[in-house]
Amino acid sequence: MLTPSQALDRLDTILAAARTAGADAADAVYGGDASTSIAVRLGALEDVGRSEGEELGLRVFVGQRAANVVTSDLSPKALTEAAERAVAMARLAPEDRFTGLADPALLLKTPPLDLDLEDQTDLSPETLKALALEAEDAARAVAGVTNSEGGGAAQGRAVTALATSTGFAAARASSSFSLSASVIAGEGSAMQRDYAWASTRHFEDLEAAREIGTRAGTRAVRRLGPTKLATASLPVVFDRRISASLIGHLIGAVTGSAIARGTSFLKDALNTQVFAPGIRIIDDPLRPRSLRGRSFDGEGLPTLRRALIDDGVLTSWLLDCASARQLGLAPTGHASRGAGGPPGAGPSNLHLEAGPLSPEALIADIKRGVLITELIGMGVNGLTGDYSRGASGFLIENGEITTPVAEITIAGNLKAMFKALTPANDLHFRHASNAPTLRIDGMTIAGA
């Protein structure tokens, strides 16, 4: 894997070759990563993995025609050949009036912010094994746990670099550390499985292995003896381990490509009330040590913290340059890309801001409802907003979490769900997308 400065040198080489071959404009992206992972099961080493990879993607423009090539051979000769091949392909491509590089005036002009995304800690395979064993041992120590699917520990590093023929060039390096445990409780046909995991940029921020394992074991045991529910309309509470999935459905509906194609249930919702007043959903690429931190996007534009939902109102689409041109709007710094194709639009670090009530207070007046801790399947219609997913969790009775439930389906429409959503105050920043416990009244529960 190249260093950031070496990656930028390779990008400079291939951009020069593209210009020599006849490209009017070009950009190039490098991605390299290396990781080590350890898996254990029932106290014994099960797998050791080591992976390394790197590739460079070049996009060239000849007029309004574009082509993209990818190479993992980073020698000067291979880069020159890739550039020549890309230009030849572009000359044969159809014209696209929306394609092209970002306006140079919009590019990031200052050095990228240091978001502290890289930790130089280097864990040996022996240390990773010890962490994985500690997590699994803690999970297996929970009374009622009868078997294990294993524990895992991993660390990785990555380098990303982007350069354009219009003068932008920047790179960033990052690290990652993760721990997980997955165990089984019960016997025979009554067995239940659950898990816990954590991932951070810095090792010192990683939750203790024992805490992760204990949480996995406790979750599995709590699921024993589930019942089924009759079909009804009930309040549904989304546990914070899965509540951020609702933000994901919002993002899918507000990306520029979906809006430009007219395939989003929110295509006419810009600057209108989508959530209840008081709800804010923040996209924050500049949060230090975050899993999706970045100070420049996939086209070289600066990024910034913004409220996508402010006081319940949808304030912005997520736009790369191509979708912005289609819609007659300015790009928003949300371009994301890999080596294999043109940019698309995507979020950075997302969170739905906490509300004033504790989770206990949020459910205190629910006489009968459901706490959802696991979602199954992807039954969401992006065109209509219809929502239907398999689920499991716990019955809520008279404000208390009681019996585990399984094999149910929760259904509604995202437009109504968003407006009925109420957040608790237990927001934690554990993942790239985070939300507190969320309550939505009046969803349909389909059961036995």
pLDDT of 317-374, one tens digit each? Answer: 999 999 999 999 999 999 999 898 899 999 999 999 999 999 999 999 999 999 999 9
Q: What is the pLDDT of residue 448?
A: 57
Q: How far apart are the first and last CA of the chain?
A: 54
Neighbours of 253 (CB within 10 A): 25
| Mean pLDDT within 405-426 | 96
Reported as a single tens digit per residue, the pLDDT across 169-178 is 999 999 999 9
Burial class for 343, CB neighbours closer than 10 Å (0-12, 13-18, 19+): buried
| Mean pLDDT within 404-415 | 95
How far is it, in rounded angstroms, from Cα 101 to Cα 110? 19
| Mean pLDDT within 1-24 | 97
Indicate whether 134 pLDDT > 70: yes
Q: What is the dihedral angle through the alpha carbons of 122, 125, 207, 393, rounded to the nearest 10 degrees?
A: 140
The DSSP secondary structure of 279-317, one letter per residue, reads: --EEE-TT-TT-TT--SB-TTS-B---EEEEETTEE---
Does residue 445 contact residue 233 with C-beta atoms inside 8 Å? yes
| Mean pLDDT within 126-134 | 98
Tell me the whole-structure pTM to 2 decimals: 0.94
Identify the band that residue 143 occupies on the pLDDT scale cut at 50, 70 and 90. very high
Q: What is the pLDDT of residue 369?
A: 96
Q: Which residues of 430-447 are buried (b: 16+ CB within 10 A; e: fewer)?
A: bbbbbbbbbbbeebebbe
What percent of the chain stands above pLDDT 70?
A: 100
Indicate whether 379 pLDDT > 90: no
Indicate whether 209 pLDDT > 60: yes
Comparing C-alpha atoms, which of 442, 436, 391, 437 is closest to residue 412? 442
Q: What is the pLDDT of residue 222?
A: 96
What domains lie within the chain, and their CATH numbers? 4-220 (3.30.2290.10), 226-245+354-446 (no CATH)
Indicate whether 6 pLDDT > 90: yes
Does residue 321 contact residue 257 with C-beta atoms inside 8 Å? no
Identify the band that residue 447 occupies on the pLDDT scale cut at 50, 70 and 90. confident
Mean pLDDT of the chain: 96
371: which 2 tokens? Answer: 């706490």
Q: What is the pLDDT of residue 371?
A: 98
| Mean pLDDT within 220-226 | 95
Indicate whether 195 pLDDT > 60: yes
Q: What is the pLDDT of residue 353?
A: 98
Q: What is the pLDDT of residue 340?
A: 87
| Mean pLDDT within 57-80 | 97
Q: What is the pLDDT of residue 249?
A: 96
Reported as a single tens digit per residue, the pLDDT across 278-332 is 999 999 999 999 999 999 999 999 999 999 999 999 999 999 999 999 999 999 9
| Mean pLDDT within 391-412 | 96
If DSSP codes are grouped into helix, strand and coil, which group holds residue 140? Answer: helix
Identify the band that residue 47 occupies on the pLDDT scale cut at 50, 70 and 90. very high
Comparing C-alpha atoms, which of 227, 284, 280, 226 is closest to residue 250? 280
